[in-house]
Every structure is written in structure tokens, then in C-alpha cells.
Amino acid sequence: MAPRARALLIAAPAVLPVALVLTGALVAALLQSLGLLPIIGEPEFSTAAWDADGELLLATGISVYIAAASTVLSVVVGFLIAAYVLTSGVSSRVLAVLSAASVPIPHLVAAGAMGLLLSDAGFLARVFGMPSGFPGLVGGRGWGAAILEFGWKESAFVALVLVGSMARSAGGLCEAAATLGASAKQRMLHVLLPLALPALGVSALVVFVYTLGSYEAPWLLGPVSPEPLPVRAVRLFGSIDLTARPEAMATALASVVVGLAAIGAGLLLLRRVRGWR
């Protein structure tokens, strides 16, 4: 048996059930979003759920904004943490432990903690004497608290991925660069950053797709309206109005489409990065 066929056969027991459930769920969601699988009444084809007064487009825009901002923040902070951990001495281990410690904290708990810290009557506002100009991070239009929560949690994830992927090579290459006249900043930009690009790209994709579909932080820390895709999907799905179900499914599918598009574009870009293949 050819090695490729053998590998596929070995993976089949794990892959097939996942593929079946995923395909079934997506097809069912698509049919419901098009009115072909109604909870009540007769099936009737309709695209009304996909263009409900532009709300779906607005929700998509908000979700992409939150995911993009969170990804940029996570990637920048994660890279800086990884660079410090890889090139510094004993003190870097403390930072590595602190970063790793934040990974197992659930996003729901982290979002709650971020709310208590950043709300206009929260811990920081009280520390600063409840200033009237305290930024509206929680519930504000900029989704600041949600983005910060994602940035905090996901930067630790990015840092761990980068440290794991570069631990064996970064130290020696940075030392070689130093003896060739590269300053600390040059070593970071001309050695560590190019080395990190493949892992950075992959972890950025993971963070983007995760934050695009994550519900807890935007729900707890964002404004009531407008809503990002996951918050809207959960609200409509749980609504007592069963006719809202097609809109819930369209909203969920929109996040799937955006996620798949991001993965496709990301993989195309990564193929251009040297060292990825």
C-alpha cells in the first residue's frame, strides 16, 4: 500500500466523523438560513436572512475589526515577549512563566476580570480616583476592553508558539549577528523577525479565526449594539422568536465564510514566506 494511502487510512477514523458532523452542520445551517429547513411552517426559499437591513454586513465589519485589532495586538506583544525570552537571561524565565500562566485561564473569566479592571467604576478607575475622563473601554464603541482581553490572552499563546519554534536556533543566530556588528534592535528586526515569520503567520491566523468566532469577551465587554457576528448569532439562536432562526444561521455562516477566506488568504501569503515550506 502506498504511504499516502496508508496515512489517509490511519487518519480516517478520526477525520471522517469530524468531517461528517461539520459538513452536516454546515449544510443544515445553510438550508435553515435559506428557509428550506424551518422550525415551523412550510419550506420556502428566501435570502431575507442574508440581507436583513445591512445588519449582517455591519456585524461582519465589527467582527473583522475586533479580530484584526486583537490579532495585531497579540502578534506584536507576543513577538516582543518571545524575543525577550529568547535573548535574555534569568529574568526572561519569569516572563515566560507569567505568559504561560495566562494561557489556561478561560476567556470568560479573563473577560470578567478585564471588566472589573477597566470599567468606568472598576479597579483602575478607583485607583485613579474615578476621573471623569476615564476612557470608555468597557461597552465603548471601540471595543477596547474586548480587544485588550484578546490581546492579553492570545499574546501569551503567540509567544509560546514563537518560543517553541525558535528556541533551538534563535540564541546562536543572535550571537552570531552580534559578533557581526548587529545591535540589539537590528538583531530583532533582521534576525528574529524573519525567523519568526512562519510561526508568526500561522499563530496570527489561529488568533484571527478564534477571535472572529469568540463570543464571551465581546458579549461581556462590548456595547449592546451594534453586535459582532458571534454575539448576534447566539442572541438570535436563543430568541423565543423561532422565525429568527434563519438569521442566526446566516450570521453563523457569515463568520465561517470570513474565517475560511482569512485562512485561504493567510496560507497563500505564508507560501511566499521563505522557510515556510
Partner 1 sequence: MSSSLTFDRVSRMFGQSEVLSDVSLTVPARSLVALLGASGSGKSTLLRIASGLDAPSSGSVLVDGQDASAVPAENRGIAVVFQKPLLFPHLTVVDNVAFPARMAGVTRREARSQALEFLDLVQLGGFARRMPGQLSGGQEQRVSLARALAAQPRILLLDEPFSSLDSRLTDDMYELVGKIRAELEPTIVLVTHDRREASVLADTIAVLDEGTILQHGPVPELHYQPATRAVNRILGGLNEVPGHAAGGFHTSVLGRVRVQPGVPDGPALLVVRQEALRLIRNDDGGTSSGDEAPTGVVTEVKSMGAHVLVRVRVESAPGSGSTAVESIAVELAGAPALRAGDRVGVSLAGGQGWVVRA
Q: Residues in the site for partner 1, rule: CB under 8 A?
A: 169, 172-173, 175-183, 186, 190-191, 194-195, 197, 274-275
214 Cβ contact partners less than 8 Å away, ≥ 6 residues apart? 107, 150, 230
User: Which C-beta is closer to partner 1: that of 26 or that of 178?
Assistant: 178
For partner 1, the closer CB: 4 or 274? 274
Q: Please say which residue, 20 or 189, places its beta carbon nearer to partner 1.
A: 189
Q: To the nearest whole angstrom, how small is the minimum distance from the Cβ of residue 87 to partner 1? A: 12
CA-CA distance, 5 to 224, in Å (whole number)?
Answer: 51
Question: CB 86 → partner 1: shortest distance, Å?
Answer: 15
Q: Which is nearer to partner 1, 62 or 196 (CB)?
A: 196
Question: What single string gives the DSSP state of each residue in the chain?
Answer: --HHHHHHHHHHHHHHHHHHHHHHHHHHHHHHHTTSS-SSS------GGGGSTTHHHHHHHHHHHHHHHHHHHHHHHHHHHHHHHHH--HHHHHHHHHHHHHTTS-HHHHHHHHHHHHSTTSHHHHHTT--TT----TT-TT-HHHHHHHHHHHHHHHHHHHHHHHHHHHHHHHHHHHHTT--HHHHIIIIIHHHHHHHHHHHHHHHHHHHHH--HHHHHHS-SSS--HHHHHHHHHT-S-GGGHHHHHHHHHHHHHHHHHHHHHHHHHHHHSTT--
What's the min distance (Å) between Cβ of 178 and partner 1? 4
State the minimum distance, in angstroms, from the CB of residue 187 to partner 1: 8
> Based on CB atoms, which residue is closest to partner 1, 65 or 276?
276
Kindly tell me which of 6 and 190 has the beta carbon lying closer to partner 1: 190
The three three-digit cell numbers of residue 195, written as one number: 525567523
| Closer residue to partner 1 (CB): 3 or 172 | 172
Single-letter residue type at 47: T
